[in-house]
Structure 1
Amino acid sequence: MNDIIYKTTKEHVNWQEVSDILRRSGLSNHTKEEQETIFTNSYAVVFVYHGERLIGVGRALSDGVCQAAIYNIALEEEFQGNGVGRKLITLLLDQVKGQNVILYTHPRTVALYEKMGFRRSKTAMCIFNGSEESRAFMEEEGFMLPESYRFVDEYGREDMKRS
């Protein structure tokens, strides 16, 4: 795809298009104003264009030295499967080179990230501040394990018991 352009700057971005692509991807319902704040406050960004049309976005938070987290990777469906998403991730990783990187993704894209060198973490934790309905969705989709879930090798361990 020779007509794909990748931008790693935050200038001249149509924030409504960012909001729309993230909404279509099921990743965010934030307004264009909120997306502008979110992406502007991010350490690293990538915006992917096909001509003038925004077709993909991604961002990373970082302390700039040793820790980073990647969020909001979205790519229009018709551009998936041909390396555009891989390039988007690579450009984010280039911006946080040498740092430990955490990536939050949909369970159905785990294999893609494993091919890029990411490994699953057994000890990642989260506090989710959504509604009960959205929390149930997160569990049903596989984003979060059920409360009090234990892996087989944790059964019976004193340090894994809830107090």
Structure 2
Amino acid sequence: MHITYQIGVLPTVTQVTALYNAAGLPRPTHDPERMQQMYAHSNLVVTAWEGDTLIGVSRSITDWVWSCYLADLAVDPSYQKSGIGKKLIQLTKEKAGEQSMVLLLSVPTALEYYPRVGMQKVENGFILPREK
């Protein structure tokens, strides 16, 4: 297995949708235009590939000097537990820079994963949920 990582290479909506569906990431994969807009408005995308196959992605929004919101982290289930997610987080943090924190909202099924890869749980977050 030869995995390559790329920064700034945007996968197609079809590739992202297939990955999110396989990984069980709850996103609007039924709405290709919304998925396309999610990526068009992100300014830090790190991808993992085996050949031409997208097997992992970290999608973030950052100002490069204070905060980096890691909006999506997905790894194909057949590649999970091989360090790909951890590497995607590491590359995201490196690219965001040492002045910037990386923060995220976890899906319930991944709550135990993030502390294992070095992230700290915080209790001081708030949210205004989406209406649609």
Contact 1:21 1:56 survives alignment (8 Å): yes
Equivalenced residues, count = 129
1:10/1:35 Cα in 2 relative to 1: closer, same or farther (>3 Å)?
Answer: farther
1:61 CA displacement = 0.9
Unaligned runs of 5+ in 1: 132-163
State the partner residue of 2:66. Answer: 66
TM-score of the superposition, structure 1-length normalised?
0.70
Q: Deviations over 1:64-123 (max 9, x none)?
A: 211111011111101000111111111111111221221111233233221332111111
State the partner residue of 2:103. Answer: 102
Rg larger in structure: 1
State the partner residue of 1:111. Answer: 112
Structure 1: distance between partners of 2:55 and 2:91: 15
Contact 1:7 1:48 survives alignment (8 Å): yes
State whether structure 2 residue 35 is matched by structure 1 residue 35: yes
SS in 2 for 1:78: helix
State the partner residue of 1:26. Answer: 25
TM-score of the superposition, structure 2-length normalised?
0.85
Q: CA RMSD in A?
A: 1.9
Greater RCO, 1 or 2 (C-alpha within 8 Å, sep 6+): 2
Aligned partner of 1:15 among 13, 26, 29? 13
Q: Deviations over 1:6-48 (max 9, x none)?
A: 111235x322111221233232124333323212221211121
Contact 2:28 2:34 survives alignment (8 Å): no
State the partner residue of 1:46. Answer: 46
Structure 2: distance between partners of 1:50 and 1:130: 37
Percent identity between the two aligned chains: 22
The structure richer in strand per residue is 2
